[in-house]
């Protein structure tokens, strides 16, 4: 009998499963899965919503109002600059595309001969016990890279501050990964460190985020971080 | 958080703010501050931090209002800012070990900044059980990363659709879903020692 995984049963209990009918039928005949499903349901009941205190609107408004400056609409003075930059941008994008194609061909060839766990994601990157804080660090990295990949214009101050703080933490995790011989994890985190260093040191310009995406392949790095995150979860699950 | 288009009052309020009338922002605050604080409370776990995150989110939204493109509603936009602000606040608090916001605890303590919710109806046994349950829930939630906590509480407690959580967290729908699944799995394991039969 094929059993359903814990993840399938969590999705079922949260009504996120695309296979509810067959899971429901299976639970009627399999006591093992039914017990697991009931334990998930019990967990969800224990963590059900508690009442939330109501904020004092007037007090909050008075506090907020004192910090509000008088705004003016954003000036749109870039029309002339936009046309002036069209050809250099097209030229740069073409060059970057060619470079990306060359790199992707090289990576494809390398992956045929040398197995890279970080990129291919086959199995856990490590069998050693994990520092629980790395999960948090990888979550923060994923959010930051997603922001970089989706932002138009320069990043705001809060995101840049976050990059600065992540940079300090990242150096520690790179060193830990190297010390424990986890070279794939170290390589991915080192690449992330380069992105953070650039964000931390380069002055924000309207094109800085866009250039960072092209030059450092932040989309590819985001994928590597996600794979690392999944492998990290997998190895923690094995450890438990 | 809904996808409905902004109504006239909100559009006018934004135009008013952009024209230099900062009091017009009150309309947006009256409409959305409670729901934003509610979500921030789910993420931060305490009232003081929830209000601070909501204040910061409204201030950031105000300053970014000139670049608000209106391809989403103001409520979706402010909620997205609030979630990120609340997550960043939780991360800052985790780094700053010297900070203790008032939190619910078994015994109120001035030095530990803890408070207790009074329950005059409860008997000794239920008081004991409640205390234990609150401590266990708090400890289990503390094990989650801010992203897992956010995704889980919004999905399970606030019934926010996965796509909206993903959009607010700036991750893919699959990542948001995985974060919820990881959270439930971790919480279930945290309960295992007391539940006996749970595997």
A residues 26-65 closer than 8 Å to B (CB): 35-36, 39-40, 42-44, 46-50, 52-55, 57, 60-61, 63-65
Q: Which of A195, A198, A176, A177 is nearest to A186 (CA)?
A: A177
CA distance B185 to chain A (A): 8
- The span from the CA of A81 to the CA of A60, in Å, is 42
Rounded mean pLDDT, B20-29: 93
Structure tokens at A15: 């009504």
Task: Say which of B37, B188, B195 has its CB closest to residue A55.
Answer: B37
Find the helix or strand (DSSP H, E) in which B14 lies.
Answer: helix B8-18
Residues in B closer than 8 angstroms to A7, CB to CB, are 181, 185
Q: How many CB pairs under 8 A join A and B?
A: 155
A169 CB-near residues (< 8 Å, 6+ apart)? A137
Residue given tokens 């105000």 in the structure block: B62
B107 CB-near residues (< 8 Å, 6+ apart)? B114, B116
Residues in B closer than 8 angstroms to A55, CB to CB, are 33-34, 37, 50-51, 54
The answer to whether A47 and B187 have CB atoms below 8 angstroms apart is yes
Residue A18 has a CB neighbour count (10 Å cut-off) of: 8
User: pLDDT digit string (tens) for B32-86?
Assistant: 999 999 999 988 888 999 999 999 999 999 998 888 877 778 988 898 899 889 9
Percent of chain A with pLDDT over 90: 15
A219 touches chain B (CB under 8 A): no
User: pLDDT digit string (tens) for A25-58?
Assistant: 999 999 999 999 999 999 998 888 778 888 999 9
pTM, to two decimals:
0.56
CA atoms within 13 A on the CB side of A104: 9
More confident residue, B89 or B97: B89
Beta strands per DSSP E along chain B: 103-104, 114-115
More confident residue, B38 or A156: B38
For residue B193, name the pLDDT band (cuts at 50, 70, 90).
Answer: low
Q: Which of A118, A101, A125, A85 is nearest to A217 (CA)?
A: A101
- The span from the CA of A185 to the CA of A137, in Å, is 13
A residues 111-130 closer than 8 Å to B (CB): none
CA dihedral of B177, B178, B180, B182, whole degrees rounded to 10:
170
- The span from the CA of A131 to the CA of A117, in Å, is 19
For residue B186, name the pLDDT band (cuts at 50, 70, 90).
Answer: very high
Task: Say which of A46, A55, A139 has its CB closest to residue B191.
Answer: A46
Residue of chain B whose Cα is closest to the Cα of A39: B198
Find which of A45, A55, A130, A131 to mutate to test the B interface (most B CBs within 10 Å of its CB). Answer: A55
A residues 148-207 closer than 8 Å to B (CB): 150, 153, 156, 158, 162, 165
pLDDT confidence of residue A147: 81
Asked if B66 and A165 come within 8 Å (Cβ–Cβ), the reply is: no
Complex ipTM: 0.73
Residue B38 has a CB neighbour count (10 Å cut-off) of: 18
Asked if A139 and B60 come within 8 Å (Cβ–Cβ), the reply is: no
């Amino acid at each position: 009998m094929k059993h359903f995984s814990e993840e399938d049963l969590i999705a079922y209990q949260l009504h996120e499963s695309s296979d509810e009918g067959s899971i429901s039928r299976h639970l009627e005949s399999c006591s093992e899965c039914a017990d697991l499903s009931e334990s998930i349901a019990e967990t969800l009941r224990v963590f059900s919503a508690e009442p939330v205190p109501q904020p004092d609107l007037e007090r909050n408004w008075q506090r907020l109002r004192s910090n509000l400056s008088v705004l003016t609409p954003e000036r749109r003075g870039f029309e002339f600059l936009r046309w002036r930059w069209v050809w250099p941008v097209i030229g740069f994008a073409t060059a970057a595309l060619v470079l990306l194609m060359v790199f992707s061909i090289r990576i494809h060839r390398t992956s045929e001969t040398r197995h890279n766990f970080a990129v291919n994601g086959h199995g856990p990157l490590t069998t050693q016990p994990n520092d629980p804080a790395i999960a948090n660090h990888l979550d923060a990295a994923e959010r930051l890279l997603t922001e970089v990949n989706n932002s138009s214009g320069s990043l705001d101050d809060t995101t840049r501050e976050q990059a600065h703080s992540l940079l300090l933490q990242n150096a520690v995790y790179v060193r830990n990964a190297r010390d424990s011989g986890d070279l794939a994890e170290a390589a991915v985190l080192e690449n992330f460190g380069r992105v953070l260093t650039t964000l931390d040191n380069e002055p924000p310009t309207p094109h800085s985020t866009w250039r960072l995406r092209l030059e450092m392949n932040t989309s590819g790095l985001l994928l590597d971080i996600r794979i690392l995150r999944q492998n990290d979860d997998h190895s923690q699950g094995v450890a438990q | 958080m809904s996808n409905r288009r902004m109504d006239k009052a909100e559009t006018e309020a934004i135009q008013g703010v952009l024209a230099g009338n900062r009091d017009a922002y009150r309309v947006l605050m009256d409409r959305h501050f409670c729901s934003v604080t509610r979500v921030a409370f789910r993420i931060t776990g305490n009232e003081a931090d929830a209000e601070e995150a909501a204040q910061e989110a409204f201030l950031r939204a105000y300053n970014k209002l000139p670049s608000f493109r209106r391809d989403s509603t103001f409520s979706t936009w402010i909620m997205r800012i609030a979630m990120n602000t609340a997550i960043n606040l939780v991360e800052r608090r985790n780094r700053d070990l010297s900070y203790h916001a008032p939190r619910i605890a078994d015994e109120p303590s001035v030095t530990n900044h803890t408070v207790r919710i009074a329950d005059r109806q409860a008997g000794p046994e239920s008081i004991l059980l409640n205390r234990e349950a609150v401590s266990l829930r708090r400890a289990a939630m503390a094990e989650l990363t801010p992203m897992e906590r956010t995704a889980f509480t919004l999905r399970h407690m606030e019934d926010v659709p996965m796509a909206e959580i993903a959009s607010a967290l700036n991750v893919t729908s699959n990542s948001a879903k995985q974060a919820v699944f990881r959270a439930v799995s971790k919480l279930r394991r945290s309960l295992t020692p007391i539940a006996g039969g749970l595997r």
